[in-house]
A and B are shown apart, each in its own frame.
Chain A
Amino acid sequence: MTPVTTTAKTELAAPARKFRPRGERGPLASVVLHVTLLVASAVAVLPPLWLLVTSFKPKSEAFSTELVKDFTLGNYDHVLNDTYFLGWLGNSLLVVGLTTVIGVFISATTGYAVSRFKFPGMRPLMWLLLITQMFPMAVLIVPLYNLLASLGLLNQPVGLIITYLTIAVPFCAWMMKGYFDTVPVEIDEAGRVDGLNPFGTFWRLILPLAKPGLAVTGFYSFITGWAEVAYASAFMTGEENLTLAGGLQTFVNQYTSDWGSLTAAAVIVAVPAAVIFGFAQRHLVSGLTAGATKS
């Protein structure tokens, strides 16, 4: 066949198209592709962007359609100085931070145990982890509320931390199992031969190797807790005890609608989360699907 290649770019005629080199598109296809992607990107970006724009408008102009109208930092000033926002942020950081640290540690040990050992009770445990993952909070929320009330843990960060552990740990244990399955068993064996007990093998050899997996797991616990609404709304009352998800609701409800403060607070909450997310997202999906399917 004669090498007819370069003309393909300029001619859209049917015969020329046949000989377009592999992996090259015609100009029409390119335009369609870019337009579709641009529209999709716009749909994805505009809502958060609008949030950002609104947060810089004065309260009374929250719904103005103009892009920039009376640029002001007043909303941020108000949120940081005149509301409980910093308290909520502190509560959230405390609850979510502790959940992450404890959750990662205990799900790592569990993941390691089910990945490496075969022990009586392992199958029931796997079922337990699988089913707990898909537990709807609606089943648990009332009894849990009563349990926490009788233990005096309502309105206490500890109560929320324990609750979040049950959401985060089953999934994280699966993810860690998937990750440990990819660490060669020979490393364990070498450690055992050199006289380490299983805890030593886990702590000194496997855990350092599993750092990427731990990071993903930690990140997953973090975003789960950061965005949790149901338990937080039910268990925490009184403005100063709320976490961010509950606190933001108080800006806009049936009695008031302070969109200015809401948007400013939302931006402060979203920016760090988005930045951390940007670093972790590449590993997140492989972690999610590997933990679930070990593929």
Chain B
Amino acid sequence: MAVDTGRPVVRAADASSVRGRGHHDGKNPGGKRPGRLRRSLSTHWYAWCMVAPVVAVIGLIVGYPLVRGIYLSTTDANEANVERHIGVNHIPATYESVGLDNYTAILSDGVFWDRLGWTVVWTVSCVALSFALGLALATMLNRRLAGRSWYRMALILPWAVPAFVSVFTWRLLFNEKNGILNQILAGGGIDAIPWLNDPTWAKLSVITVNVWLGVPFMLVAMLGGLQSIPGELYEAAEMDGANAWQRFRHITLPGLRTVSSTVVLISGIWTFNMFPVIFLLTRGGPGDATEILVTYAYRLSFVVSPRDFSGSAAWGVLILLLLSFFAVIYRRALRKQGEVW
């Protein structure tokens, strides 16, 4: 398995860190000397001190709201019946528990499944397209080439510009009446395309923009991966008479396995949760055609009137359940790469 370049390094690093932990880890089962015990206690005390701030922040800002969100999802809370202050008057909360009614309502209603279907299409197509484009461009750049660094700089630019700025730019380009894209089409005698106002075109447009935003990350990651494949492998393959496609198929692709599985997983999670692109480009519209799960939950609690807090929380819990699949897969991928914990 000489091509699996990432592995040996990982093993080595792992071995050393395990060894290192052994030194600091005061826990020894048969330890009789009192100094050992004391040292172990103090070591753990230090470790706990170091992680305390993070645990506190996560516990307060993620833990509490999460518990509260799960609770809200079993009530009928909305804008009209939650606790609130109007001037000096304090109006207590009047919402009550409705058990799992929110969930049954969501799951038996078509909207959730529609949104889920579109979210899956959106995630898969965005990740697949940007991965394919990123890999193709990286393969092209990974050779001696005039102007290589210029190409690289140009291709990375979409990543360098803050995403919300790029999204506004695309809205400018997509503008139906006056946008540059439609003016170019008009120059060619083609009718204006309702980029963001027709359900199908809007879906294509948001995917286009997200792929445009996502390719640079893939490109840079893949370039890194390609450069870690030793050149000797290609020489040897060429000596054996492998053609370009065979070299790509049997050396490049296996060599990229580690990095590409990570990158695909990370960008899958990012895309699944991608709020800004859809929210800023179409606000989920037209209608709710481009609304993914995350933006729909946001719409329920902050856009529609009256704000449906409990429904939104129930959507959130369902999204979380879906995402825990990602977590399990991710964990498995990490373990395969020798991560021990």
Which A residues are closer than 8 A to B by beta carbons? 22-23, 33-34, 36-37, 40-41, 43-45, 47-48, 50-51, 54, 62-63, 65, 106-107, 109-110, 112-123, 125-126, 128-147, 162-163, 165-166, 169-170, 173, 181-182, 184-185, 188-189, 197-199, 202, 223, 226-230, 233-234, 245, 248-249, 252, 259, 262-263, 266, 269-270, 273-274, 277-278, 281, 284-286, 288-289, 292-295
Question: What residues of chain A lie closer than 8 Å to B313, measured between beta carbons?
Answer: 139, 142-143
Q: Are B48 and A136 neighbours in the complex by a CB distance under 8 Å?
A: no
Please tell me if B145 contacts chain A, counting CB pairs below 8 Å: yes
Q: A40-B155, A135-B320 known; A140 and B66 CB under 8 Å?
A: yes
Check A142–B165 contact: CB distance below 8 A. Answer: no
Partner of A117, one of B24, B66, B168: B24
Complex A-B, nearest 4 residue pairs according to Cβ-Cβ distance, in ascending order: A185-B20, A139-B316, A63-B178, A143-B65
Q: State how many angstroms separate the Cβ of B142 from the closest Cβ of chain A.
A: 12
Instruction: Find out whether the CB atom of B262 lies under 8 angstroms from the CB atom of A295.
Output: yes
Across the interface, which residues of A come within 8 angstroms of B21, CB to CB?
A: 116-118
Given A137-B273, A147-B64, 20 more pairs with CB closer than 8 A: A109-B53, A110-B51, A116-B24, A117-B21, A117-B24, A117-B43, A123-B341, A134-B323, A136-B297, A140-B316, A142-B69, A142-B312, A142-B316, A143-B68, A144-B61, A169-B54, A181-B17, A269-B165, A273-B161, A284-B220
* Distance to closest chain A CB from B324 (angstroms): 7
Q: What CA separation (Å) do A132 and B66 show in the bound complex?
A: 11
B330 on the interface (CB 8 Å rule)?
Answer: yes
Query: Contacts A136-B273, A136-B320, A166-B57; is A41 near B154 (CB within 8 Å)?
Result: yes
Q: Evaluate contact between B151 and A41: CB separation under 8 angstroms.
A: yes
B6-14, B123-131, B194-202: which one contacts chain A?
B6-14
What residue in chain A is nearest B217 (Cβ atoms)? A285
**Chain B contact residues, majority secondary structure:** helix
> Shortest Cβ distance from A182 into chain B, in angstroms?
7
A-B contact pairs, 12 of them (CB 8 A): A23-B143, A47-B173, A122-B47, A125-B55, A129-B54, A138-B298, A140-B66, A198-B24, A229-B164, A229-B275, A270-B161, A294-B339
Distance (Å) between the CB of A136 and the closest chain B CB? 5
Tell me which of B24, B64, B212, B273 contacts A118 (CB under 8 A): B24
Cα–Cα distance between A50 and B10 once the two chains are bound (Å): 45
Contacts of A269 in B (CB 8 A): 162, 165
A234 to B235, CA, bound (A): 57
Q: Is B82 an interface residue (CB 8 A)?
A: yes
Q: Are B53 and A131 in touch, CB under 8 angstroms?
A: no
Q: Which residues of B contact A36 (CB under 8 A)?
A: 140
* CB-based contact A181/B13 at 8 Å: yes
Please give me the residue from chain A that is nearest to B315 by CB atom: A138
- In the complex, which residues of chain A have a beta carbon less than 8 angstroms from the beta carbon of B179? 63
Residues of B in contact (CB 8 Å), total 121
- Whether A50 touches B180, Cβ cut-off 8 Å, given contacts A45-B154, A229-B276, A259-B172, is yes
Minimal beta-carbon separation of B307 from chain A (angstroms): 8
Closest CB in chain A relative to B7 CB, distance in Å: 9
B69 in contact with A48 (CB, 8 Å): no
Contacts of B319 in A (CB 8 A): 136, 138-139
Determine if B159 is an interface residue (Cβ-Cβ < 8 Å): yes
Q: Is the CB of B224 within 8 A of A286?
A: yes
Chain B residue nearest to A105 (CB atoms) is: B53
Given that A120-B44, A142-B301 are known contacts, is A166 also in contact with B61, CB under 8 Å in the complex?
yes
Identify the closest chain B residue to A197 (Cβ).
B46
Task: Note all chain A residues with C-beta closer than 8 A to B105.
Answer: none
Given contacts A138-B319, A202-B50, contact A227 B164 (CB under 8 A): yes
Complex CA–CA separation, A131 to B328 (angstroms): 9
Q: What A residues does B272 contact at CB under 8 A?
A: 136
Which B residues touch A262, using CB under 8 A?
Answer: 168, 172
A202 and B50 alpha carbons, distance in the complex (Å): 10
Once the chains bind, are A47 and B169 in contact (CB under 8 Å)?
A: yes
Asked if residues A188 and B44 are in contact (CB atoms below 8 Å), the reply is: no
CA distance A49 to B17 in the complex (A): 48
Residue contact B220 to A281, C-beta cutoff 8 Å? yes
Q: Mark B207-246, 1 if CB is under 8 A from A, else 0.
A: 0000010011100110010000000000100100000000
> Do A106 and B53 touch across chains, with their CB atoms under 8 A apart?
yes
Taking a contact as CB atoms under 8 Å apart, the answer to whether B161 and A274 are in contact is: yes
Q: Is the CB of B316 within 8 A of A136?
A: yes
- Nearest Cβ distance between residue A200 and chain B, in whole angstroms? 10
* Smallest beta-carbon distance A209→chain B, Å: 15
Q: Please name the residue on chain B nearest to A63 by beta carbon.
A: B178
Contact partner of B337 among A34, A123, A128, A293, CB < 8 A? A293
Chain B residue at minimum C-beta to C-beta distance from A180 = B17
Q: With A138-B319, A182-B13, A227-B164 given, is the CB distance from A146 to B50 under 8 Å?
A: no
B3 within 8 A of A: no
Considering only CB atoms, which chain B residue lies closest to A138 in the complex? Answer: B297
B62–A107 touching, CB < 8 Å = no
Q: Are B323 and A113 in contact (CB under 8 A)?
A: no
Per-residue 0/1 for B132-146: is the Cβ within 8 Å of any A Cβ (1 yes, 0 no)? 010001001101111
Report the Cα distance A295→B261, complex, angstroms.
12
- A180 vs B215: C-alpha distance when bound (angstroms): 29
Assembled-state Cα–Cα distance A292/B43 (Å): 26
Report if B263 contacts A (CB, 8 A): yes
Most buried by B among A43, A136, A184: A136
Please report the C-alpha to C-alpha distance between residue A270 and residue B157 in the assembled complex, in whole angstroms.
11
Q: Are B69 and A143 in contact (CB under 8 A)?
A: yes
Judging by beta carbons under 8 Å apart, are A119 and B64 in contact?
A: no
- Which residue of chain A lies nearest to B220 when distances are taken between CB atoms in the complex? A285
Are B293 and A227 in touch, CB under 8 angstroms? Answer: no
B69 contacts which of A110, A113, A140, A185 (Cβ < 8 Å)?
A140
